Amino acid sequence: MTATARRLQFSRMERSLPWAWYADPEVLRREGEQIFARAWQYVGHTGEIAETGFFASTAGQIPVVVTRARDAELRAFLNVCRHRGHVVASGSGTRETLQCPYHAWTYALDGRLHSAPRSDREPGFDVDEVGLRQIQVDTFGPLVFVNPDPGAAPLADALGDMPAQLAEILDVDSLEFRFRSEFELDANWKISCENFLECYHCAVAHPGFSAAVDVSPDAYSLEANGLVSSQFGPLRQNGGSFLADGEVPRSQFHFLWPNFGVNVFPGHPNLSCGPMLPIGPERTARFLDYFFAPDVDQDWIDELVAFDNQVGKEDRSLVEGVQRGVRSGILSEGLLLSESEQLVAHFQRLCAEALAG
């Protein structure tokens, strides 16, 4: 290849987001306002709130609480007391009210202020004006999503073709929650998302996964449509993996922008999912909720979880290594391969467009 041809090929590669965006507190602040305050985000599952009660969660860096009152309606609110801003609820539970631990302002599960100590001494105090701030909530199967933006389009619009694609191999409504895994990464949340969005690294960094799933570019397919990015990987022929033992014929990995990933492995009916949550410019919290069909054998689940944990351990090393590199400040940006990293490019364009307002 001539020098001119190499320059032309280089020019067709897409440039990444500025690497300063992965360590700058001001960028993270803007992401909170322009991205996480306006997007549908996974916060938990319906099993956490089957009866009257609540569960607390996070949308980006925004504390939220999901409730079910006696009328059985599912609601979501900003988990912020209208008095002095303390977080009202923690964890989950079955109860009739939520009480702020700071000054004991107490809210009903429909968001109304139930009582506020000494408020009777304040002329003109109107409890109807200081209820919890309600936000949008919706479900897909057992998965619960919220959106802090009251004017946002419905969840179904954001999910696009994902439910139909999952339905080709899995009955999501039949799945039952089994357990949650929680961990943190020394990396910006976008690096964690970008790692999820490409399998270009799989043959190098995930030998166990690559031995079971065909990650060659001719077999492993990528799709981006709207806010959803999807990856489809068939089982490797004659691979001899435990993943071949079951009715789910192939893997699907979906991502709902800005920060929600879904994993379905071949084998018995399974789904794991969770968000990448920024807790600092260079720190990400993650949780993964695991769901299985009721009749899936525990031994198979244990084997799948061990397999998934190994992949996660390998990914931790990768994303934290990227963070150490991009924070150096010497190089301003990277490059993206137009075919193998097309979903990363799609993600970065959505982020850039949101931050541009």
For residue 238, pLDDT over 80 is answered with no
For the record, the structure tokens of 33 come out as 């306002």
List, in order, residues 6 or more apart from 167 with CB less than 8 Å away.
none
CB 227 within 8 A of CB 257: yes
Establish if 19 belongs to a structural domain.
no
Q: List CB contacts of 195: < 8 A, sequence separation 6 or more.
A: 201, 315, 318, 319, 322
CA distance linking residue 198 with residue 312, whole number of Å: 14
Q: Domain for residue 11, yes or no?
A: no
Q: What is the pLDDT of residue 237?
A: 80
- Do residue 105 and residue 247 come from a single domain? no
Please, which contacts does 163-167 make with residues 24 or more away whose CB atoms are closer than 8 Å?
165/230, 165/252, 165/254, 166/252, 166/254, 166/262, 166/264, 166/271
Judge if 191 and 116 occupy the same domain: no
Confidence bin at 10 (pLDDT 50/70/90): very low
- How confident is the model at residue 127, as a pLDDT? 86
pLDDT (mean) for 230-245: 88
Residues 190 and 301 in one domain: yes
Q: Which helix or strand (DSSP H or E) is residue 283 part of? A: strand 283-292
Which pLDDT does position 275 carry in this prediction?
Answer: 98
Q: Is residue 79 part of a domain?
A: yes
Q: How confident is the model at residue 239 (pLDDT cuts 50, 70, 90)?
A: low
Q: Is residue 30 one of the residues assigned to a domain?
A: no
Which of 139-153, 235-249, 283-297, 310-324 bottoms out in mean pLDDT, i.e. has the lowest?
235-249
Q: Determine if the peptide bond prior to 281 is cis (ω within 30°).
A: no
Q: What is the mean pLDDT of residues 229-256?
A: 92
Query: Among the three residues 119, 147, 175, which one is the final residue of a domain in this structure?
Result: 147
* Section 235-247 average pLDDT: 86
Task: For residues 110 and 174, state if they share a domain.
Answer: no
The reply to whether 167 and 254 lie within a common domain is: yes
197 and 333 share one domain: yes
pLDDT digits (tens, 9 = 90+) for 300-355: 999 999 999 999 999 999 999 999 999 998 999 999 999 999 999 999 999 999 99
Alpha helices in the chain (DSSP H): 3-12, 25-31, 155-159, 162-167, 189-196, 202-205, 207-212, 298-326, 342-355
Q: Does residue 3 surpass a pLDDT of 60? A: no
**CA-wise closest residue to 143 among 114, 116, 176, 165:** 176
Q: Angle between the 189-196 and 342-355 helix axes, to the nearest 10 degrees?
A: 150
pLDDT tens readout for residues 102-151: 999 999 999 999 999 999 899 989 988 999 999 999 999 999 999 999 99
Same domain, 51 and 168: no
What is the DSSP track for 150-201? TTPPPHHHHHTTHHHHHHTT--GGG-EEEEEEEEEESS-HHHHHHHHT--TT
Q: Which of 88, 122, 129 is nearest to 105 (CA)?
A: 88
Q: At residue 4, does pLDDT exceed 60?
A: no
Q: Give the domain extent around 66.
A: 41-147
Residues 134 and 196 in one domain: no
**Who has greater pLDDT, 8 or 2?**
2
**What total of structural domains would you count in the chain?**
2
Among 5-19, 189-203, 242-256, the minimum mean pLDDT is found in 5-19
The set of residues, in sequence order, having a beta carbon less than 8 Å from that of 349 and lying 6+ positions away, is none
Q: Are 241 and 163 in contact (CB under 8 A)?
A: no
Helix (H, G, I), strand (E, B) or coil at 58: strand
Nearest to 41 by CA among 150, 136, 178: 136
Residues 58 and 168 in one domain: no
Q: Please report whether residue 36 resides in a domain.
A: no
Check residue 245 and give its pLDDT.
86
Q: Are residues 230 and 170 in the same domain?
A: yes
Q: 326 and 190, same structural domain?
A: yes
283-292 and 335-336 beta bridge pairing: unpaired
Same domain, 227 and 137: no
Half-sphere exposure of 294 (CA within 13 A, CB side): 2
pLDDT digits (tens, 9 = 90+) for 69-96: 999 999 999 999 999 999 999 999 999 9
Distance from chain centroid for Cα 214? 25
Q: Which pLDDT score, from 0 to 100, does residue 12 have?
A: 61
Of the three residues 98, 117, 147, the one that is the final residue of a domain is: 147
For 29-66, what is each residue's pLDDT tens digit? 999 999 999 999 999 999 999 899 999 999 999 999 99
Q: Answer yes or no: is 59 within a domain.
A: yes
SS3 content of the chain, % helix, strand, coil (to 5): 30, 30, 35
